[in-house]
């Protein structure tokens, strides 16, 4: 699960960089940032839930 989150974050960061590099695709950069934040939040929430079950 952690590997999936890392892969998604890397993809969203690349998407954001491409969006900001090409000014016509500024919306792509904004979507990339939103997806990075959402992926990190979901990853941390699931990780916290799984560690709570393990105890």
For the stretch 17-29, pLDDT in tens is 887 787 777 787 7
Q: Residue 17: its pLDDT value, please? A: 82
* Entry pTM: 0.61
**What's the count of helices (H) and strands (E) in the chain, helices before strands?**
2, 0
């Amino acid at each position: 699960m952690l590997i999936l989150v890392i892969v998604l974050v890397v993809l969203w960061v690349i998407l954001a960089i491409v969006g900001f590099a090409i000014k016509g695709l500024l919306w792509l950069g904004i979507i990339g940032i939103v997806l990075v934040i959402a992926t990190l939040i979901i990853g941390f929430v699931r990780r916290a839930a799984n560690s709570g079950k393990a105890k």
